[in-house]
């Protein structure tokens, strides 16, 4: 599970390694060289919790049929000083989700060492599949936005890490959905089938917009307003066809 710290290295390390009233921890912390609080000459990974032990990084969370993901996940905090309003400030009657957020870029050297770490984890835990490599926002879309739209998921996919859709399949679905977009209920079912926590309500209400916003942050970061559109639907159906072996256009599963 990939997180962004929203703090510099010093503060991130303090929060993750010392006792405080709201305990938080992760298995790994990944700094970057340009951080003025990081004093090392070379990048190194900080292992804070053994992979075989539970860390407190996910909070209230769900992916697929699994919940309380602290019990069964490896948390990686990536130092990135993003800032974003709390998602709880979004109003139920808003048509889109327009939060004030700033997401800095991730330096390439940081991504390189992160990719090395993840590949080592995958070697130790071959049961982790592509769709199981997720963002904090993916498993808690009503609370979280990290690691944000600047995180290079597609680059990691090209290095054998995580999931991504096939362009040809997505384009075929896009042509179809430009003529007729699936119903809200079918899209919610498709998103739940992929793994996202979402209530199948048939109404594109706040919880639905937040879930699709998280999906867009991961797979369509150019626009993560939470609006349902043909491109978002096409990416989702292409992912389900590739990884879930189904078009996922109904709830009868």
Q: Tokens 């040809």 — which residue?
A: 168
| Catalytic member of 77, 94, 120, 231 | 77
3-state class (DSSP) for residue 135:
strand
Q: What angle do CA 155, 160, 163 make, to 5 degrees?
A: 75
Active site annotation includes 77: yes
> Distance between CA atoms of 8 and 31, rounded to whole angstroms?
8
Residue 243 Cα distances to 44, 56, 132, 173, 239, angstroms: 33, 29, 11, 16, 6
- Alpha helix (H) residue ranges in the chain: 9-17, 108-124, 136-139, 153-158, 167-179, 184-194, 206-219, 230-239
Within 8 A by CB and 6+ apart from 107, the residues are: 32, 33, 34
> Distance between CA atoms of 16 and 47, rounded to whole angstroms?
11
> Distance between CA atoms of 193 and 189, rounded to whole angstroms?
6
Catalytic residues, by residue number, are 77
């Amino acid at each position: 599970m990939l997180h962004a710290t929203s703090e510099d290295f010093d503060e991130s390390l303090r929060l993750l390694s010392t006792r405080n009233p709201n305990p938080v921890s992760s298995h790994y912390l990944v700094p970057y060289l340009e951080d003025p609080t990081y004093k090392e000459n070379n990048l190194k990974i900080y292992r804070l919790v053994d992979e075989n032990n539970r860390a407190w990084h996910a909070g209230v969370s769900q992916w697929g049929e699994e919940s309380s993901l602290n019990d069964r996940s490896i948390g990686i905090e990536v130092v990135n000083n993003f800032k974003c309003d709390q998602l709880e400030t979004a109003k139920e009657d808003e048509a889109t989700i327009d939060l004030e957020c700033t997401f800095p870029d991730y330096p390439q050297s940081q991504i390189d060492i992160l990719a090395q770490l993840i590949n080592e984890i995958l070697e130790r835990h071959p049961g982790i599949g592509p769709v199981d490599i997720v963002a904090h926002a993916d498993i808690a879309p009503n609370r979280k936005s990290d690691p944000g739209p600047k995180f290079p998921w597609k680059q990691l996919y090209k290095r054998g890490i995580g999931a991504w859709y096939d362009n040809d399949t997505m384009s075929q679905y896009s042509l179809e959905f430009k003529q007729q977009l699936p119903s809200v209920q079918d899209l919610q079912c498709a998103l739940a089938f992929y793994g996202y926590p979402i209530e199948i309500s048939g109404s594109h209400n706040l919880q639905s917009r937040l879930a699709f916003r998280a999906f867009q942050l991961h797979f369509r970061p150019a626009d993560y307003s939470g609006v349902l559109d043909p491109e978002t639907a096409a990416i989702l159906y292409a992912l389900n066809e590739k990884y879930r072996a189904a078009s996922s256009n109904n709830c009868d599963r």
